[in-house]
Structure 1
Amino acid sequence: MTILCCIKYTLDPFKRTEFEAYAKNWAEIIPRCGGDLIGYFMPHEGTDNIALGLICFDSLADYEAYRARLKTDEGGAANFQMAQRERFILSEERTFLRAADGSEMLRFFEGREQVA
């Protein structure tokens, strides 16, 4: 069963540019470490301090293996250090979701490429 890791970030609204650079870095790091990155999503209209990161995994075990690889990845470590140094993330929440049977997202999950 495919799971979706939804990371909700509360941002310093005056440091959105810094967060966007952070998100761009993950576009290379996450796939290299085994995650299937759907994308990072920035505020556009309305609330100006909430961003989302969406990553698919085949299972929670695959997520745990990804986290272990991420801890030893030089790019990942550098990106985490940048976030701590620049303090553009005020808080972060992770939620793990599955597609509801019969929902539109089920077609997305079934048709996605598998992570190598």
Structure 2
Amino acid sequence: MAPVTCLLRYELKAGREADFETYGRKWITLVNRFGGQHHGYFMPSEGASDVAYALFTFPSLAAYETYRAASAADPVCQALFKELPALMHRYDRTFLRPVLDGMEPQ
């Protein structure tokens, strides 16, 4: 059973960055509560970028699917899902296999 990391890429609506950051801070707490490890949201910093990212890891794809089912039934999560269209144009989800431990260079 390998961990799985979800990378979310959001295209934000102009002027909604602060609202999106508030939205993201709520999800950090929720993902952690549902058994994941949230690595944070990464907001545009310099220039005219409208792209933000989020990364979180679950111990397995099965654990991620359990989170998806639980969040779909959770009223707090449902309220947040309804907020998202007002904050962004679109988002993409990519699943990655994390390498989280280091080793000495040879």
Where does the alignment leave 5 or more consecutive residues of structure 2 unmatched? none
Q: Structure 1 or 2: larger helix share?
A: 1
Tell me, in whole angstroms, the C-alpha distance in 2 between the residues paired with 1:52 and 1:90: 14
Give per-residue Cα distances to partners, 1:60-113, cap 9 Å, x unaligned: 1111111001011121111112223xx1111010000113xxxxx4327xxxxx
* TM-score of the superposed pair, with normalisation by structure 1: 0.79
Tell me, in whole angstroms, the C-alpha distance in 2 between the residues paired with 1:29 and 1:8: 18
* TM-score of the superposed pair, with normalisation by structure 2: 0.85
Tell me, in whole angstroms, the C-alpha distance in 1 between the residues paired with 2:35 and 2:47: 33
Aligned partner of 1:79 in structure 2 is 80
Aligned partner of 2:96 in structure 1 is 97
Equivalent residues in 2 for 1:48-59, closer than 5 Å:
48-59=49-60
Q: Secondary structure at the match of 1:39?
A: strand
1:13 Cα deviation after fit: 2.7
Equivalent residues in 2 for 1:3-82, closer than 5 Å:
3-82=4-83
Where does the alignment leave 5 or more consecutive residues of structure 1 unmatched? 100-104, 109-116
Give 4+ residue runs of structure 1 displaced > 6 Å after superposition: none
* Letter of the structure 1 residue corresponding to residue 88 of structure 2: I
Matched, 1:106 2:106: no
Tell me, in whole angstroms, the C-alpha distance in 1 between the residues paired with 2:64 and 2:80: 19
